[in-house]
Structure 1
Amino acid sequence: MIRKLNNQDHAKVFSFLKEEPSFNLFIIGDIEAFGYETEFQQIWGEFDEKLNLISVMLRFHDSYLVYAKEAFDVEGYARLLPVEGPVQLSGKSEVVEKFETQSFIQLGEKKKMYFAECRSKSHAKDPDSRPVHLADFEDVDRIMELRSRIKEFVITPSRRDILVQAMKSKTGRTYYIEENGQMISAAGTAAENSISAMIVGVCTHPEHRNKGLASETLIALMEDLMEIEKKTLCLFYDNPAAGSIYHRLGFKDIGKWTMYR
């Protein structure tokens, strides 16, 4: 049985999600920040015959996240997705790839990545590194302009609104390096919650690559979140070169993540 979840389900939902907290970072963060009843967010859950929660799907704006630990009602969730694609869907690869069997939905372009987690930082900040700044609302357009230069990034109409909303709700932040007033490297977080955060938007302007700027930005971010706020950090990547940078900084692979965009 799949039904919409509400505040009365909260204890059961979090007990279920915290069995794999890193993989459920986005869902945990969004529920902590926005709850169960908002215009832009909905959460559904599937229960077995003993009323145990066995799977969850969250809608955040036009994106969907699904999590399950065992067999679940793929078709039932697929019936809740938009009838007009492409559908933006994300989650553990072994979970969301099951939706490829549902011919009546149109999934977005598939991207499969490694999922990595960091519990202890392995690099200290270089005293000779460039200043790293924490972005504010006035920097939003500069962040979007930098991201638009990165061919691997998909910039949808809702991305700016999501970035602003993350800043307002304190579920996301962006650190950056600038030169002559231009933002040239950045790294941010999303789905920040009481125990963890997801690293997103790691990028460097094409004309300023191979200078270690992304690492400098990440190290500053990691110092604040891990050493001061004691949070676990997660990220996904598909580029082996990027993976080697993250591994040097203390990240370890724990699985794979698939996105349809």
Structure 2
Amino acid sequence: MHRVLTEKDRDLVLSYVAAEPEMSLFIAGDIETMGMEGQLCVWGLAKAASADKDLGAVILRYGDNFVVYSRDGDFDDAEAAVLIDRSMGGDAPGDVNGRADLVARLAPFFPANRLEPCTMASLREVNRDAVGPVPQGVELGLLKAEEVDAWLGLQGTIDEFSLHLDDASIYAERRARKLDELGAGLPCVVARDDRGQIVSTASVGAASSQGAMVIAVATDKAWRGRGLATAVVAELCDVCLRGGLEFMSLFFENPAAARIYRRLGFCDVGPYAMLRPSAR
């Protein structure tokens, strides 16, 4: 059994997901930023193994992407999959994110999406000893609205982020989304070379009153191996923590990224996963 959750359920949902603030950051951040209605759709699933029908899981949809969270995994995974499928009108969903054990249960229902495991990590203080000086002529700063096209230009050179950026409608959507994020106060740190060109970047993709998620870490291929990824992530974390947040989170897949983040002070929280469209 499930129902659509509305503004009157806000405290219930935020209290429920607060048990694991890093794993549920996308849910808490989106609700705090956009509310429970309008751009978001939020569902609550009742516990499957209990007669009291307390909240057993929360699913949030934003665009074609979904986040699932459950404290104890007591929900009907088939019901959750049908809910996602029907909300998409039978089309395959975009990303389905969440704690790895929950996402793995949904994977068999979405064969067009591939399961990508990763690790969620969290930081509460930056280890500045791990951050070396930036190369001569490079300066760190916050992304300006007039630089969004240049920022997208860098993203377009990175395989992980470049998908369909040559499509005008997708480019326009990503451009508008980035401007909205900047307007909402979600910071993006960039490194500029001595010509003012953006050569490295790290962004906040979601933020709650407690923490923020680091995403879209990218460095121009000609500038890699010079400590810029470490520098922009450290600066982004410092900006957010100085602003009053308690923690920063991110998820990573490859060992090289893990070494960078752990040196900075990130500690593993647990397995996370994404069901991603196979075309991505």
Q: 1:94-119: per-residue Cα shift (whole Å, max 9, x none)?
A: 001111222xx444333211111111
What is the CA–CA distance in structure 2 between the aligned matches of 1:96 and 1:253, rounded to whole Å? 18
Q: 1:214-250: per-residue Cα shift (whole Å, max 9, x none)?
A: 1111221122112342430000111111110100100
Residue of structure 2 in register with 1:224 after alignment = 239
**Equivalent in 193, 196, 204 of residue 181 of structure 1:** 196
Distance 1:186 1:244, change over 3 A: same
What is the CA–CA distance in structure 2 between the aligned matches of 1:236 and 1:7, rounded to whole Å? 29
**Equivalent in 81, 106, 109 of residue 99 of structure 1:** 106
Q: Which amino acid aligns with 1:242?
A: A
Q: How does 1:105-184 map to 2 (within 5 A)?
A: 105-123=110-128, 130-153=138-161, 155=163, 157=170, 158-170=173-185, 172-179=186-193, 180-184=195-199
Unaligned segments of structure 1, at least 5 residues: none
What is the CA–CA distance in structure 1 between the aligned matches of 2:35 and 2:215, rounded to whole Å? 22
Normalised to the residue count of structure 1, the TM-score between the two structures is 0.91
Classify the secondary structure of the residue corresponding to 2:67: strand
Classify the secondary structure of the residue corresponding to 1:79: helix
Q: Point out the more displaced range, 19-28 or 173-182.
A: 173-182
Q: How does 1:20-39 map to 2 (within 5 A)?
A: 20-38=20-38
**Cα RMSD over matched residues?**
1.9
Contact 1:88 1:107 in 2 (8 A): no
Distance 1:151 1:33, change over 3 A: same
1:88 maps onto 2:95 in alignment: yes
What is the CA–CA distance in structure 1 between the aligned matches of 2:18 and 2:258, rounded to whole Å? 26
What is the CA–CA distance in structure 2 between the aligned matches of 1:231 and 1:203, rounded to whole Å? 24
1:211 maps onto 2:188 in alignment: no
What is the CA–CA distance in structure 2 between the aligned matches of 1:255 and 1:154, rounded to whole Å? 28
* TM-aligned CA deviation for residue 181 of structure 1: 2.9
What is the CA–CA distance in structure 2 between the aligned matches of 1:109 and 1:153, rounded to whole Å? 17
What is the CA–CA distance in structure 1 between the aligned matches of 2:182 and 2:111, rounded to whole Å? 32
1:260 maps onto 2:265 in alignment: no
Residue of structure 1 in register with 2:19 after alignment = 19
What is the CA–CA distance in structure 1 between the aligned matches of 2:162 and 2:44, rounded to whole Å? 29
Distance 1:161 1:75, change over 3 A: farther
What is the CA–CA distance in structure 1 between the aligned matches of 2:133 and 2:220, rounded to whole Å? 23
Structure 1 stretches (4+) deviating beyond 3 angstroms? 124-130, 158-161
Q: Identity over the aligned pairs, expressed in percent?
A: 30
Q: Which amino acid aligns with 1:174?
A: C
Q: Which amino acid aligns with 1:133?
A: G
Contact 1:87 1:106 in 2 (8 A): no
Q: Point out the more displaced range, 184-193 or 173-182.
A: 173-182
Distance 1:10 1:134, change over 3 A: same
**Equivalent in 47, 52, 71 of residue 50 of structure 1:** 52
Contact 1:175 1:188 in 2 (8 A): yes
Q: 1:40-97: per-residue Cα shift (whole Å, max 9, x none)?
A: 3110011234242110000011111111122312122212222112542111110011
